[in-house]
Every structure is written in structure tokens, then in C-alpha cells.
Amino acid sequence: MFNKKEDQTVDSKYIQQHLANERTYLAWVRTAIAVVGIGFVIVNLHFTLQDEISDTADMVAIMVGALAFLLGTTIIVFTSYDYMRKRYQINQQTFRASKNLIILLSCSLVVSLLVMAILFVIYLINKMS
């Protein structure tokens, strides 16, 4: 019933590669969700724990949250594209490792984290004064 030759698809020839591709994709999705979650936590803590209203601190907290959301969304879009590209390449036996996407995502993560760190320092300085 299940192991008939006519029931096999192109995907079934490369099950291990497809499963590895899915695990990589899901790891990126978890990373994106974590980035977005950190942004929401920062915004939520700011608006929950603040003692007095500060327009600058409010704007910085909102910018951090928006940056985290934008970064998480970007990660999901790029990795979804990469997942589908790898799926096709695996089936066509033309797979090539995607170093450009890794460089792009890594650099954007580092730059975004640096921007968020700078915004957090501005937030702390504003909060102390």
C-alpha cells in the first residue's frame, strides 16, 4: 500500500535533505519569533514600568519594537524564499550552499542589534536624567 514505486515522488528520493532543509527553516523562524518577542518585551516593559511620561523614551521604545518586528518579518521572508529555493535545488540535484543569504542575514542581525543597543543606551540616559 505505501511503498509502491508509482507512489514515490521526486521529494521522496531526497527525504534526509528535505528534512534537514525544514529543520534549518524552522530554526530561522524560531530566531525571527525570538527577535520579535524581545522587541515586544522591551516595549511592554517600558510602558508598564515607567514612572513618568517622556516623549523621547516613548519614541525610543517604539523604535526598538518596530525595528525588532521589521527584522523578524524580514528574516521570515528571506528564509521562506531560501527554503523554497533549496527545496527546488535538492529535487533538481543542483543544490548550492547559500552564503550570500547567510551573510545578509548575519550582517542585518548584527547591525540591528547594534542599533537596538544604541537606542537602549539613549533610553537609559533619558530615563536617568
Q: What is the pLDDT of residues 87-117, one digit of tens each?
A: 999 988 898 887 888 898 888 888 888 888 8
Residue 109 lies in a domain: yes
Residue 8 lies in a domain: no
Residue 1 lies in a domain: no
Residue 72 lies in a domain: yes
Q: What is the pLDDT of residues 6-62, one digit of tens each?
A: 555 666 788 899 999 999 999 999 999 999 998 888 888 877 877 666 777 788 888
Residue 91 lies in a domain: yes
- Mean pLDDT, to the nearest integer, of 1-10? 57
Question: How open is the CA angle 24-26-97, to the nearest 5 degrees?
Answer: 25
Residue 58 lies in a domain: yes
For position 109, what pLDDT does the model report?
82
Q: What cell does 85 get?
A: 529555493
Residue 44 lies in a domain: yes
Q: Is residue 53 classed as helix, strand or coil in its secondary structure?
A: coil
CB distance 46 to 57 below 8 Å? yes
Q: DSSP for 68-84?
A: HHHHHHHHHHHHHHHHH
* Overall domain count for the chain: 1
